[in-house]
Amino acid sequence: MSLYHLVREPKEIKEKNPVLILLHGYGSNEEDLFSFASELPSEYFVISARAPYDLQPYGHAWYAIYFDADENKFSDDEQAKQSRDSIVNFVDEICEKYPIDASKLTLIGFSQGAILSCAVALSYPEKISRVVMLSGYLNDKIIVEDYTKKDNKHLQFYVSHGTVDQVIPVDWARKTKPFIENLGLPIDYKEYPVGHGVAPQNFFDFKNWLQETL
């Protein structure tokens, strides 16, 4: 397998099972989001992937970040595109390896993982059914150029952000909703009075959304 990952199997393995793929943030690892795997709905495979770039002294990243307040210089978009395609390749691999229903594949990303989840879904909508973006934003520079011509009408988005996020300003996240709506796609957007993290209420809300939209 191209990306190291952790797996929680569904309580009852069927011939085809829905899957939640967890994509962590910058400087973290596959164990971060996997820590709440036991709280996620039991009918899913839950697969948490490790980003390909190693950071020193520890942690991993999907792409390099330049700590600059200027939005245009915030990230290495070429590396981000490479990781976008690595995730798509990983999706294909897990669909071959595990009894997964490829039509019920949900990406759940935090921060960098959220930014990439969105880019993967809009670039390759045939691979993804739903996206949960936690504390991220939509970077249209890392979406494939012809994304508006893709058949994406089945995609559904849940997007949430902390109003006092000190890492990714909430103003960046707020641009996601009109962008997705302009594509004619449903989006559930929520804000919470927290920083760069997932509040308990946020977790509860997106878990409910997963159940309602399956």
pLDDT digits (tens, 9 = 90+) for 39-64: 999 999 999 999 999 998 899 999 99
What percent of the chain clears pLDDT 90, i.e. is strictly above it?
Answer: 93
CATH 3.40.50.1820 fits 5-213, yes or no: yes
pLDDT digits (tens, 9 = 90+) for 106-149: 999 999 999 999 999 999 999 999 999 999 999 999 999 999 99
pLDDT digits (tens, 9 = 90+) for 75-98: 899 999 999 999 999 999 999 999
Gap between the Cα atoms of 127 and 107, Å rounded:
10
Residue 214 has pLDDT above 90, yes or no: no
Gap between the Cα atoms of 27 and 170, Å rounded:
20
Diameter of the chain measured on Cα atoms: 48
pLDDT digits (tens, 9 = 90+) for 178-190: 999 999 999 999 9
Write out the two tokens for 197: 């993290």
The answer to whether the beta carbons of residues 130 and 155 sit under 8 Å apart is: yes
The answer to whether the beta carbons of residues 1 and 87 sit under 8 Å apart is: no
Domain boundaries, the chain: 5-213
How many other CB atoms are found less than 10 A from the CB of residue 126? 11
Write out the two tokens for 78: 């070429």
User: What pLDDT band is residue 16 in, cutting at 50, 70 and 90?
Assistant: very high
Write out the two tokens for 59: 């942690």
